[in-house]
Structure 1
Amino acid sequence: MPPRTVPIHPPASALVDSLRGLGYSPETALADLVDNSIAASARQIELDVQWNDGNPVAAVFDDGRGMDHETLVSAIQLGGKGPSAERQDDDLGRFGLGLKTASLSQGQRLTVVTRREGITSTLVLDVDVVKDNGWVAEIPDQLPAHPYVDRVVAAEGGTVVLIDRMDSMSGLTGLPKESFFLRLEELRAHLGMVFHRFLNGDATRLAISLNGRPVKGWEPFQTAHPATREMPSERLRHASASFTVKPYVLPHRDRFANEAEYETAGGPGGWGARQGFYVYRGKRLLVAGSWLGLGGVRTWTRDEASRLARIMVDLPTGLDRDWRIDVRKSQARPPGALRARLTDIAGRCRQEAREVFAFRDQGPRLRGAPNTAPAVWLATQGAKGIQYRINRDHPVIVACRETGGQRSLNAVLSIIERSVPVERIWLDVSESEGAEVPELETDEIAQLSDQLCELGKALPDNMTLDQRADSLLLNLPGDLTKLRTALLRKLGGQK
């Protein structure tokens, strides 16, 4: 005899408020709506978010295939296909909740106007109506007044999502006008980061605009920069599926043309926040910089030495459950069977990034120039920990030793090595993070080039001018283009 059952239907009034509080930000909410447009094969997505005297309203338009009435009803239902349904590679849905929870997290009323094969369908999901009447959606007597709605009605297909009656649940309400539009710039940057592979053509090309201005993709790995190091990619298998992991080490600050280029490469939130793993699902970015709880006994945290390490993880949609993708599609956790392998890959990337961060990538600052100069400082692991020594085989050191005597020079170098104020340097660097290295003045360039040129007299005659300049300029901070030009001129005059 089967056990007796008791109905436990959840009260609509309580559940709708709980769903509204899942923790969406305006960024994650609108990105979830863009996912739906991509799944509908849209090529043009337009967002309109207006301050409206402190009572914001938002609208999302796409030129996708639209929905008929039955499909729209299914889309408005909580759960939809659900997380167990098999999805196409370009279907960015996950739990069947995104349209509802993302929209209602920002406002109390969601209106969807969609058109397919010349037939328009409309439904309204209103929090107050649900609380009074249960899980029902309304078919309005007339279409809402909005320019996006007019465009959909005039087309063969497409969809508009309208969100209004925004309240304290949204991060856009109650803001002064200036703060509101600054918040929109953060939203624009987030969309450019999350969908950069679509915007830049690495995935199915897509155009997104916010309030009439195009959203530009931000590519985290700076692959176009000549100083970016692309480490070997690895193909991992899990649960009968495979995916790619590719580490990158980004250029040191000195390798960027200017401060603006450096800050742009840092991305939304800055360099410190953007280090770590970048987890993609169907080429849509889920996690934008995190160490995913990896690191072995001592979990890795964001630190200065690893800020240049970024690792791409390119997941197919079939690994959602294994990677524990959350409902907002903003978090992921790797399965236990992969943690050791991912830790090993990330450990090598972090070490490489540490070397670039500590030694400014060892070499000339001119883009595309060969790395011909040896290191001035060497780091070795000894019984007492890491020790830093001046490279006795550096051409300048060798030349000075030969002309001034080995014993006295080694004594001076040892004193320098033992007296480097490491802790003070680290403290000063941390406190001055973000400060730009001052540009050399004309008289400083002349004085410094004279001093370096004097040292250059001791270098071997078989070194080229570029090699001599690289050896003399190694490890000096900042943009050395003018100094290098002046030095090459004077070194050439010595010949």
Structure 2
Amino acid sequence: MMKTQSVSIPPRPSALMSSLRGLGYSPETALADMIDNCITAGAANIEIDLRWDRELPVVAILDDGKGMGEQTLVDAMCLGGEGPESARAPGDLGRFGMGMKTASLSQSRRLTVLTRLPGSAVHGLCLDVAVIARDGWVAEIPDPRPEHAFVTKLTKLRSGTLVLWEQLDELSGLTGLSKEAFYLRLEEIRSHLGMIFHRYIDGDASRIAIVLNGRAIKAWDPFQSDHPATQAMPSQRIRHAETSFTIQPYVLPHRDRFENETAYDAAGGPGGWGARQGFYVYRGKRLLVSGSWLGLGSSRTWTRDESSRLARIQIDLPTNMDREWRIDVRKSQARPPGVLRTRLTDIAARCRGAAREVFAFRGQGPRVRGARGEAHAVWLASASPRGIQYRINRDHPVISACRAAVGSQRPLDAVLSIIERSMPVERIWLDVSESEGAAVPELDTYEVVELSSQLVELGRMLPPSMSTDQRVETLLRNLPGDLTALRATLKQKIEETDG
């Protein structure tokens, strides 16, 4: 039997390093990878320093976690470290053993790590792109230590780790910016981290505090759990590959249910409502995917559209399902296993349908024939072979009163039919899409007076047995927006008329 011969083919350091630096990290995804390591190390406090310097900004990340011994640090600086096949604890947010190196060197050309265990001295190692290209896969012991305020802070901690990114270049997207542009970019980073780690900052995970340039990062809850109009649909536990995960769909409130535009915009999250719809995939309570339909769909693949903008679905994965969900090295993408696609599609379709009703009926619920409260709905929706048909409710108290005043049903029905069949549905849909949800304009004083005068005339036609408050609520029930001023003016005018 012939012996198989082998040939050594070590990677060329400069070429491989250039490839690893081009994995597509942004500053925020790279910093998120650093925070993962801090959480895995049991840190309670994480401090990031990122100051503007047109020529040479430096990034520093300091945590008060358990720190590393000398050999552990050597292993951590080795590309590959603990690979994806290694068993990981539930709180270990690592994946490929590449994150700290690839994330750091995607932004900078020099990575320095200083660390200490309880009761030990600070020690460190440095990876320099130029040194690796010249000497191969070696790390240097930094001497002297870098000059940064966090170095002194580390020496005063019982234990912890400091990561420094030096020599940031064009890959980071942070060099060469004007001061104003730099700090605008910093706000985007702040928002991203508040979204990715919201369950750690203010949620059901082990609590951590993240501070960026002296200011605490605030959590952003994608599901607006504290809002009374948020609908939590039934959660499900799904078993797969000898383990299981949970899925929880939510339908968020309509724009009209937020107290003001600022609150509504904040609930939309980074990128806005359109970008943030869909699945939110968590791994160990750390957010991986922040709004995506994951390539799912029924007759066709779903896209981000206006009717589903209020649908958000939480998937909680354990850390041992990485292979099945094909988690990528940046921990920013996940793809569901093929055997689960049908079930996930069914769950998402129900959530999208419920979100569509809230979006279309401004959170008041759909008005369908036979439904409770139908008598007070102006518009009714009914299914037909040609799809959903919308008709004006002929039994609405105001319509009934107008019919009685006209003395004949046919002329009024003819007018209503013309309105129904000439409704510019396509134009309305286009306008809503282009205006990010069609906010209802506030009524000014002139409009309040004019509309109240018109409604008083209708109020006179309502049955005399109805009280003033009943008339006002009947006339205003389906009108959107803040009606406080209109309600008060209308009530006053009706009382004056009755008097």
Q: TM-score, normalised by structure 1?
A: 0.93
Q: Cα distance, 1:372 vs. partner?
A: 9.4
Q: For 1:469 and 1:184, how far apart are their aligned partners in 2? A: 50
- In structure 2, the residue matched to 1:106 is 107
- In structure 2, the residue matched to 1:452 is 455
Q: For 2:116 and 2:56, how far apart are their aligned partners in 1? A: 28
Aligned residues of 2:43 and 2:64 also touching (Cα < 8 A) = yes
Letter in 2 for 1:60: I
Aligned residues of 1:61 and 1:148 also touching (Cα < 8 A) = yes
5 Å matches for 1:223-238? 223-238=225-240
Q: In the alignment, is residue 308 of structure 1 matched against residue 316 of structure 2?
A: no
Q: In the alignment, is residue 414 of structure 1 matched against residue 417 of structure 2?
A: yes
5 Å matches for 1:12-411? 12-119=13-120, 120-362=122-364, 374-404=376-406, 405-411=408-414
**TM-superposition CA deviations, 1:402-456 (whole Å, max 9, x none):** 4433222221111110111112222333333477543211232123223334333
Q: For 1:225 and 1:244, how far apart are their aligned partners in 2? A: 22
**TM-superposition CA deviations, 1:252-309 (whole Å, max 9, x none):** 1111111111111111001110011111111111111000000033100001111111
Letter in 2 for 1:264: A
Letter in 2 for 1:447: E
Aligned residues of 1:62 and 1:158 also touching (Cα < 8 A) = yes
3-state SS of the aligned residue for 1:30? helix
Aligned residues of 1:373 and 1:471 also touching (Cα < 8 A) = no
- Are residues 60 and 77 of structure 1, via their aligned partners in 2, closer, same or farther at CA, if it must alter by over 3 Å? same
Q: For 2:44 and 2:492, how far apart are their aligned partners in 1? A: 54
Q: For 1:371 and 1:216, how far apart are their aligned partners in 2? A: 41
Q: Cα distance, 1:251 vs. partner?
A: 1.3
Q: In the alignment, is residue 473 of structure 1 matched against residue 468 of structure 2?
A: no
**TM-superposition CA deviations, 1:364-412 (whole Å, max 9, x none):** xxxxxx9998432223332333322112233332333344332222211
Q: For 1:58 and 1:255, how far apart are their aligned partners in 2? A: 41
Aligned residues of 1:277 and 1:289 also touching (Cα < 8 A) = yes
What is the aligned length?
490
Q: For 1:239 and 1:379, how far apart are their aligned partners in 2? A: 43
Identity %: 65
Q: For 2:272 and 2:66, how far apart are their aligned partners in 1? A: 38
Q: For 2:200 and 2:90, how far apart are their aligned partners in 1? A: 14
- In structure 2, the residue matched to 1:439 is 442
Letter in 1 for 2:377: A
Q: For 1:167 and 1:4, how far apart are their aligned partners in 2? A: 43
Q: Cα distance, 1:50 vs. partner?
A: 1.6
- Which is further off, 223-232 or 270-279? 223-232
Letter in 2 for 1:82: G
- In structure 2, the residue matched to 1:423 is 426
Q: Cα distance, 1:133 vs. partner?
A: 1.1
Letter in 2 for 1:49: L
Letter in 1 for 2:60: A
- Which is further off, 320-329 or 434-443? 434-443
Q: For 2:236 and 2:376, how far apart are their aligned partners in 1? A: 31
Structure 1, unmatched stretches of 5+, are 364-369
Q: TM-score, normalised by structure 2?
A: 0.93
- Are residues 58 and 234 of structure 1, via their aligned partners in 2, closer, same or farther at CA, if it must alter by over 3 Å? same
Aligned residues of 1:445 and 1:486 also touching (Cα < 8 A) = yes
- Are residues 484 and 93 of structure 1, via their aligned partners in 2, closer, same or farther at CA, if it must alter by over 3 Å? farther
**TM-superposition CA deviations, 1:52-78 (whole Å, max 9, x none):** 233221010111111111111111111
Q: For 1:160 and 1:466, how far apart are their aligned partners in 2? A: 66
Q: Cα distance, 1:247 vs. partner?
A: 1.0
- In structure 2, the residue matched to 1:367 is none
Q: Cα distance, 1:22 vs. partner?
A: 0.5
- Are residues 400 and 337 of structure 1, via their aligned partners in 2, closer, same or farther at CA, if it must alter by over 3 Å? same
3-state SS of the aligned residue for 2:60? strand
- Are residues 336 and 467 of structure 1, via their aligned partners in 2, closer, same or farther at CA, if it must alter by over 3 Å? farther
- Which is further off, 200-209 or 464-473? 464-473
Cα RMSD, aligned residues only:
2.3
